[in-house]
Structure 1
Amino acid sequence: LAQALHRNVMLENYQNLLSVGIPVSRLDLISLLAKKFNLITHQKIHNGEKQNILK
């Protein structure tokens, strides 16, 4: 469920960027968002925050 939600959000972000005229490849966007998601998750773990994927 979390993976499907994550995929849908990334696809929506990609479509939004294209709709406002920002040229970006799908692979570049997925890579960028995955890195950001992993960084945020890493920071929350080290800050002792509980993860909430629906936040």
Structure 2
Amino acid sequence: MTREKALFETSDAAAEAEADARADSDVRHGRMISHDAVKRWLSSWNTARPLPRPRVGE
């Protein structure tokens, strides 16, 4: 009996290369959100006044 591959067991090398190229470009051009900004945002979800989503450069 053969087992079907799960969703994440398949790969598309061309799609992965394209995604890596986009990510590298974003990093080179400073289009990133800092880990600390994301942590502050996520931590605010459990408060009466959640913060707005962080923006690029924060």
Instruction: Give the TM-score, by structure 2 length.
Output: 0.36
Name the structure with the higher helix share: 1
Higher relative contact order (CA 8 A, sep 6+): 2
TM-score by length of 1: 0.38
Larger Rg: 2
